[in-house]
Structure 1
Amino acid sequence: MDMKDKFISIFEENIQRDGSTELLNWLKKSDFFTAPASTKYHLSREGGLCEHSIHVYERLLNYVTREMIDVSAETIAICGLLHDVCKVDFYKTELRNAKDEYGQWVKVPYYTVEDKLPYGHGEKSVYIVSGFMRLSREEAMAIRWHMGSFDDSVRGGSYTLNNAFERYPLSLMLHIADLEATYLDEKE
């Protein structure tokens, strides 16, 4: 099973909320399944975003199960699979000059960012998902704060981030799952 089919299978098995079918159809029409996860850091390749989302889902599922936290399968799937929908239609491919193995200059593709909706990272994902289906407060907080202190809005520390992690443990768990997926599962 390829990553797109795996993502769709997990989504359809676990997410039954009103609006979920429309959200999945929107993802299928977007570049979600072909976009990279980043420009150069992790899974900077076609399909990287979908693959990363599955890794985060699997890490979050394992974490919640191990810690015996009372979180529904639907909530785990929503947070894990959809935390980075802010990256839909976010990357574009450009060409630059680089030397090939023979020392000749050739044009090579690379990813750049074209942010058409500059609304932040986690909050943009919450905004997009909420346009299709209602999120619980816990889900919205987890998705909003999944970047932890790597988010530009909390440089130097944030009482708001601490408050979110204390009040909504799923926020911390999603952040950890995202870090583990990025730095342990997606080493290139």
Structure 2
Amino acid sequence: MAELTEKTSALLDIFGKHAPVQKDGTFSAEAVKETVLEMADYIIANKEECSALKAWMDSHDFWTSPASTRFHGNVKGGLAAHSLMVAVQALRFAPAFAENFSLSKISDNFSFTAEDVFIAALSHDFCKAGTYAMESKKTKDFNGNWKYEPYYKTKSDLRNLGHGGESVLLLLDSMPSLLKNRTVLEAVKFHMGFSDLAPMETYNYSNILQNPLVLLIQLADQSAAQWWDL
């Protein structure tokens, strides 16, 4: 618990130093990238995979993609800003979350580290990187004049394995050692909760919820999207 508290605090200090996201949800894309990279360098122990992860984000439009087409973070760079805020929220909640879980009867079955929290939060929406295209539509302004308004639309040729499943696959592309870390993979796969379950997955979903990192990332994702509009 002491190590988790120490490392989450250090990661949050990095966020505070750069101040990439403001209280009103505005953000500096450059500061977001700088913050994420510094946090990754600090917490990811496998430096080869850390480098591969950063290369993946550079080559898959992670830094410029929106977080959605209209629900939250639907601006250039919104995906990276949202992912950072999910990480920040998860890191803020993590020590108290872990302490509370330690009181439960299944506490000996699961554990998570600050590295697990950061990686799961950062990668939970990797499936969105490079999946949107900028288009424009003809609308009228307040004076009744026609104008072209830009908007994001999901690419028509998109193919993936589902929201959480695709993010897991893309994470493993750069960090294959996580194949043995079921705690993180479950947190990424099921970060959408009941809204993104296949019929067969609903039967054993209660087992998935025993993993505290699943619930932590779900809470962090929702609070980042709703409280910061990111």
Structure 2 length normalisation: TM-score?
Answer: 0.75
Aligned position for 1:55: 85
Q: State the AA in 2 paired with 1:175.
A: Q
Identify unmatched segments of 5+ residues in structure 1. Answer: none
Identify unmatched segments of 5+ residues in structure 2. Answer: 1-17, 19-30, 100-110
**Hey, what's the Cα distance between the residues in 2 that align with 1:123 and 1:151?**
10
Match of 2:118 among 47, 69, 77: 77
**Cα gap change, 1:126 to 1:4, in 2 (>3 Å):** same
Q: State the AA in 2 paired with 1:36.
A: P
**Hey, what's the Cα distance between the residues in 2 that align with 1:159 and 1:62?**
32
**Hey, what's the Cα distance between the residues in 1 that align with 2:199 and 2:190?**
10
Q: How many angstroms does 1:101 deviate by?
A: 3.4
Residue 4 (structure 1) aligned with residue 45 (structure 2): no
Three-state SS of the structure 2 residue aligned to 1:131 is helix
Report if aligned partners of 1:64, 1:71 keep a CA contact under 8 Å in 2.
Answer: no
Q: State the AA in 2 paired with 1:151.
A: D
Aligned position for 2:217: 174
Alignment coverage as a number of residue pairs: 185
Q: Map 1:26-41 onto structure 2 (within 5 A).
A: 26-41=56-71
Mean alpha-carbon deviation: is it higher for 117-126 or for 138-147? 117-126
**Hey, what's the Cα distance between the residues in 2 that align with 1:67 and 1:77?**
15
Q: How many angstroms does 1:131 deviate by?
A: 1.5
Match of 1:129 among 171, 177, 183: 171
- Percent of aligned pairs with the same amino acid: 31
Q: State the AA in 2 paired with 1:51.
A: A
Residue 142 (structure 1) aligned with residue 172 (structure 2): no
Q: State the AA in 2 paired with 1:53.
A: S
Aligned position for 2:14: none
Q: State the AA in 2 paired with 1:91.
A: Y
Mean alpha-carbon deviation: is it higher for 138-147 or for 168-177? 168-177
Report if aligned partners of 1:31, 1:89 keep a CA contact under 8 Å in 2.
Answer: yes
Task: Decide which structure has the larger Cα Rg and report it.
Answer: 2
Residue 184 (structure 1) aligned with residue 227 (structure 2): yes
**Hey, what's the Cα distance between the residues in 1 that align with 2:127 and 2:62?**
10
Residue 120 (structure 1) aligned with residue 162 (structure 2): yes
Report if aligned partners of 1:148, 1:161 keep a CA contact under 8 Å in 2.
Answer: no
Q: State the AA in 1 paired with 2:77.
A: G
**Hey, what's the Cα distance between the residues in 2 that align with 1:161 and 1:92?**
34
**Cα gap change, 1:104 to 1:154, in 2 (>3 Å):** farther
Aligned position for 2:9: none
Please, what is the CA RMSD of the aligned residues?
A: 1.9
Mean alpha-carbon deviation: is it higher for 65-74 or for 49-58? 65-74
Three-state SS of the structure 2 residue aligned to 1:102 is coil
Q: 4+ runs of 1 displaced by more than 4 Å?
A: none
**Cα gap change, 1:172 to 1:159, in 2 (>3 Å):** farther
